[in-house]
Amino acid sequence: MTATILSVSRAGGHHFIKQAKPEICLIEGLGVEGDAHAGATVQHLSRIAKNPDQPNLRQVHLIHAELHDELNAAGFDIHPGDMGENILTRGLDLLALPQRTLLQIGAVAIVEVTGLRNPCSQLERFRPGLLKACLCRTPDGQLLRKAGIMAIVRRGGLVRPGDAIQSEHPQGPHLSLQPV
């Protein structure tokens, strides 16, 4: 199966839900044009309060549609953009990617995977039980965060539903994704 983009979303304000769009424009070093989380330094309100000068490792939020499938099968009513993602993918195991993986999206855009999205209380406020559904334990007891991954934009370009995604793993040791 070829990895593809199912939906793209953005929100100009600090809203949990992002609105699906026909396309989004990724801007190198900043993120999604017109999205409240775009910027070279951190744009998430809770992180700004702690240190507004830290680099923005959360410019683009990607979620795998397979998670939406799992959540909807469990009775949640989840649609593209509902969990704050900018890009909804299918056919790529986002959570298994190592840090620094490059994802070419469409013909031009490239993002670099920085880490996991740490599920937060906003999920619970959106749908009771959703936070717990986005967390589980691996057989060895490790906490598994399933709410997608975060990335920075290395090369800008337009991204649309239907665009293919190609991944290139980094050379050297592969580091597991950690929350960013």
**83 within some domain:** yes
Mean pLDDT of the chain: 96
**120 within some domain:** yes
Q: What are residue 161's DSSP bridge partners? A: none
Confidence of residue 47 (pLDDT cuts 50, 70, 90): confident
Q: What is the pLDDT of residue 45?
A: 83
Give first-to-last CA distance, the chain, whole Å.
29
CA atoms within 13 A on the CB side of 85: 29
Place of tokens 């986002």: 94
- The mean pLDDT value for 6-31 works out to 97
C-alpha to C-alpha distances, 177 to 116, 118, 126, 163, nearest whole angstrom = 6, 11, 25, 24
- The range of the structural domain enclosing residue 42 comes to 4-168
Is 160:98 a contact under the CB 8 Å cutoff?
A: no
Rounded Cα–Cα distance for residues 52 and 45 (Å): 9
Q: What is the pLDDT of residue 65?
A: 98
The CATH number for 33's domain is: 2.40.33.20
**115 within some domain:** yes
Confidence of residue 120 (pLDDT cuts 50, 70, 90): confident
**109 within some domain:** yes
**33 within some domain:** yes
**180 within some domain:** no
Domain count along the chain: 1
Closest CA to 151 of 108, 106, 107, 100: 100
Is 15:36 a contact under the CB 8 Å cutoff?
A: yes
